[in-house]
Amino acid sequence: MAGPKGGKRKKDARPSPGADAGAAGDAGGGGEGCGPTRGFSALLRNLSSSMGINRELDDMTLSEVLAAHPLIRVGKFVIVPYVLYLSNFYLRLHHPEYVSAATGGMVNLRPAVHGTDVPRQVLIVATPGSDTARTSAELRGKLSLEIGHDTADVAWDFNRDGSISWLHGIRFLTRPADDGEKVRAVARICNGGIDAHARMGFHPASFGPTRLNCSRRRMWDECWKSECFLALLDEWGCGIASGDGRKKCKVDFARTLHQVRNPMHTLEDLVATHCVGGLEGVAAEPFLEYASALFPGHDFYGDSCIEATGTFMVSYLEAMIEARLRGDIDAFYSIEKSSACDVAEAAGLSSADTTVYEPNHVRISRRCDGGDNEASPSRTIVETKSNEANLSHLKLGWNDLRGGMHGSTRAKGDMTLQGKVKKMFMAFMYDEKTIPLQYEPSVQRDSKSEL
């Protein structure tokens, strides 16, 4: 028997995986697959070995190598939950009948709304700063209603009972008579970046599933920009009934309500949110672009920040009043005086005849009807609060709305804005005497919040 110098390999010695792969490649393949497959197996074995898999890799098949690889082992804890997450939305919102069929009728989920002509129960519109987030949370938490905040998407979110949103009020705004002007107005909004839209609480996905198959993994790109044009061009003025009484909106709501808040408190939050530099500052660019696009008849760029935000608020409120007088909006309610049950009743959920999804009426009746339920949490009116931007609790008096104040270039003492805001107090039955002419300097503090 020859020693080591004889050139023969010891019987129990093993070649390295790389050498084995090379031999297999030179020989044209054999055993476990042919050339490329065997080479790929060897590559995976080398990678696995370098990443800490200490099995006898030569004895493993390709499927075993893949199953043992750290990326695969870790990936299943990410991929599987993600697939289950998507399946939850897909089955419940797109095809709940699959669950019923799979369980032999033992589990019957709520019917899908996506892809059907079934109307949603209610659309609630309101100016920014009207505490719409609280209303959505109240209706969801206390009455188990699927009410989306600033979104009406029912394909990938549970908003099947309706939405509360400021920009959905665009369906009640008179569109520019000239199509070219309308496109230019929409372009002012859609040409902005994602930061501008986020600050204004808007994304085209809030109007429903993407028609251009835009990726939800990207917050904003050219596809979403095009989607923005499509959504706003479709929605603008679609809720205004035509001569034959028909409306042209793609999504129908059984009832439409207008939520109002004390106009001065709304304005305080708008100033705190959109005035860069406080009372003496200027309105943020995204706000000016949106305001100028939606109400092109006013020069917002020539205003002080209080004048710009105040004029925007009044213009929006006036448009909603006109829509209610036309019959396009059913009613308005004051958030300071309304409980979750009050809003549900205004939305038509207190009657089986006006409830779209019957189980909602049964549940609302149980939680909201009189008697012992008068003291229930659903009947409690929750105090409205300033939004997060108004952490300094900015307070405005009537004199703050006059010309010559806080950067205004209007004539000193001009009462144009003050008069318009007081008109809104009267229209929505608020007492203007609850607002002083001027707060003390220790109370009125500039908001330090910037967008």
Q: 283-293 pLDDT, tens per residue?
A: 999 999 999 99
Mean pLDDT of 3-19: 47
pLDDT band with cut points at 50, 70 and 90 for residue 318: very high
Mean pLDDT of 215-242: 94
Tokens of 283: 């309105």
Q: pLDDT for 113-168, tens place per residue?
A: 999 999 999 999 999 999 999 999 999 999 999 999 999 999 999 999 999 999 99
Q: Are 395 and 439 in contact (CB under 8 A)?
A: yes
Higher pLDDT, 220 or 25: 220
Give the domain ranges of the chain.
71-102, 120-434
pLDDT of 76 > 70? The answer is: no
Lowest mean pLDDT among 27-31, 261-265, 427-431, 433-437: 27-31
pLDDT band with cut points at 50, 70 and 90 for residue 389: low
Q: What is the pLDDT of residue 237?
A: 95
Q: What is the pLDDT of residue 31?
A: 46
Mean pLDDT of 313-325: 98
From residue 236, alpha-carbon distances to 80, 207, 247, 275 in Å are 41, 12, 12, 27
How many Cβ atoms from other residues are within 10 Å of residue 382's Cβ?
17
Strands annotated E in 156-278: 162-165, 253-260, 275-276
Give the rounded percent of residues in the chain with a pLDDT score beyond 70: 76
Highest average pLDDT, of 31-45, 92-106, 305-319, comes from 305-319
- Name every residue whose Cβ is closer than 8 Å to that of residue 120 and which is 6 or more positions away in sequence: 113, 152, 154, 159, 160, 161, 162, 163, 251, 252, 253, 254, 356
SS3 percent helix, strand, coil of the chain, rounded to 5, is 50, 5, 40
Residue owning tokens 């902005």: 192
Name the average pLDDT for the chain: 85
Long-range contacts: 426-433, Cβ < 8 Å, 24+? 427/317, 427/321, 428/260, 428/263, 428/317, 428/332, 428/334, 429/334, 430/262, 430/263, 430/334, 432/398
pLDDT of 177 > 80? The answer is: yes
Return d(Cα 93, Cα 432) in angstroms, integer.
46
Q: What is the bridge-based pairing of β-strands 282-283 and 275-276?
A: antiparallel
pLDDT of 189 > 90? The answer is: yes
CA angle 235, 237, 239 (to 5 degrees): 85
Give the largest Cα separation in the chain, rounded: 115
pTM across the whole model: 0.80
Residue type, 429: M
Helix H or strand E segment including 265: helix 263-274
Mean pLDDT of 367-381: 73
Lowest mean pLDDT among 31-35, 142-146, 355-359: 31-35
Nearest to 90 by CA among 112, 118, 123: 112
pLDDT of 350 > 80? The answer is: yes
Mean pLDDT of 363-389: 73
Higher pLDDT, 242 or 167: 167
Q: Are 91 and 156 in contact (CB under 8 A)?
A: no
Helix H or strand E segment including 27: helix 17-27
pLDDT of 24 > 50? The answer is: no
Helix H or strand E segment including 365: helix 358-368
Q: What is the pLDDT of residue 143?
A: 96
